[in-house]
Amino acid sequence: MPNRPAWARIDLGALAHNYSEIKKQLQPGVKLCAVVKADAYGHGAVAVARTAVAAGASYLAVATLSEGIELREAGFTTPILLLGLVMPEDAKDIVDYGITQAVCDRELAHALSREAVRQGRRAKVHLKVDTGMGRIGVRPEEIGALAADIAALPGIEIEGMFSHFSMADCKDKSYTQQQLVKFRQAIAAVEGRGIPLAIKHIAESAAILEIPEAHFDMVRAGVIQYGLWPSAEVTHPIDLRPLMELQARVVWLKTLRKGESIGYGRAFIAERDCRIATLPIGYADGYIRAYGAKGAVEIHGQRAPIAGRICMDQVMVDVTDIPDVAIGDVATLFGSPTLSIDEAAGWLGTINYEVPCLISPRVPRVYTE
């Protein structure tokens, strides 16, 4: 059990199930890349990656160098793709740890080449082409020349090329189809120069489900592996099971008399005699103050509205209408079948991706199979 009375329960059995469902969407030979950046969207990168590899993931993807190093130091030998850019001075660690780096500029490629030659190794890279996201990556019309220059460098192996969709999770796929055309043009520009691309990938969670022609050699499973839908506009049938359930125990109960207040700013003033339960979790744990406006928790299968402002380390809830609540009872803050992460995201006016990512490292992750 966790060393504090608040925890995030992570169902690795649900994760394995989700991988099985995702693989049903793929044609034989298409590789699965498990995106475990941001500590696996708050679920715990090492535990998630271990389940992903056991389920047949051919690649792991991270956003920062430190995330890749964490996996290597945990013993993973699976290829790791660093989706984000690094500084040229990071080349030593990239090569040391055998991380496949996204590349879209010559300076970084030269730094990797020098370090690979110095170590007597080969540095694998994936070219990043911007087909319409507008972030990192070169334009399709520039990728051929860049690829030729990088391919000529000693110690460098161009293993693949990738891009990111901007609107694949929207019902209107017209812009996504335009991006797909540009990606194919970029592939032709590179391979037309005699540079093979073993792993071409652009499909993320939404495209895995709804754009099979975008699967190419590998797909990147992000939010769907965690049992969450990319958006309400993605309706492809698939049986996804959410992984995370945020819970805390009641540590204090108090009767508040009519007219008395609770919390900072006296934001909650009792309109009747009421019973208030305190849970030992707050905005420092990622259960942020914005939940207080509309949020509630579940205790004994019933909703208890948040009372007052969420504090750094504690949140108070009104349990007046829930009989027999006692110290030690478990409250669910989100992640149950009747209080979903999607509903919690709605309270915040954000997307479901953000909700588990907010949960801070000081909240213990408790893994179940």
Distance CA 7, CA 332 (A): 10
Does 133 appear as a known binding residue? no
Distance CA 362, CA 6 (A): 10
Please give the pLDDT value at position 136. 97
pLDDT in tens, 229-251: 999 999 888 999 999 999 999 99
End-to-end distance of the chain based on CA atoms, in angstroms? 15
| pLDDT at residue 291 is higher than 90 | yes
Question: Catalytic positions, please?
Answer: 37, 264
- Residues 284-298 have a mean pLDDT of 96
Please give the pLDDT value at position 1. 59
Tokens of 309: 């402002």
Distance CA 131, CA 143 (A): 11
**What element of type H or E holds 140?**
helix 140-151
pLDDT band at 270 (very low <50, low <70, confident <90, very high): very high
Q: How wide is the angle at C-alpha 75 spanned by C-alphas 73 and 77, nearest 5°?
A: 110
- Residues 261-271 have a mean pLDDT of 95
Q: Give counts: helices (H), strands (E), the chain.
A: 11, 19
At how many degrees (to 10) do helices 45-54 and 65-73 cross? 70
| pLDDT at residue 2 is higher than 80 | no
- Residues 4-9 have a mean pLDDT of 97
Distance CA 228, CA 236 (A): 13
Structural domain spans, the chain? 25-226, 244-368
- Residues 197-224 have a mean pLDDT of 98
- Name the CATH superfamily housing domain 25-226: Alanine racemase (3.20.20.10)
Multiple choice CATH, 244-368, 3.30.750.210, 1.20.1740.10, 3.30.465.10, 2.40.37.10? 2.40.37.10
Please give the pLDDT value at position 342. 97
Does 312 appear as a known binding residue? yes
pLDDT in tens, 101-146: 999 999 999 999 999 999 999 999 999 999 999 999 999 999 999 9
Please give the pLDDT value at position 236. 86
pLDDT in tens, 37-68: 999 999 999 999 999 999 999 999 999 999 99
Distance CA 91, CA 323 (A): 60
Q: What is the pTM of this model?
A: 0.95
| pLDDT at residue 183 is higher than 90 | yes
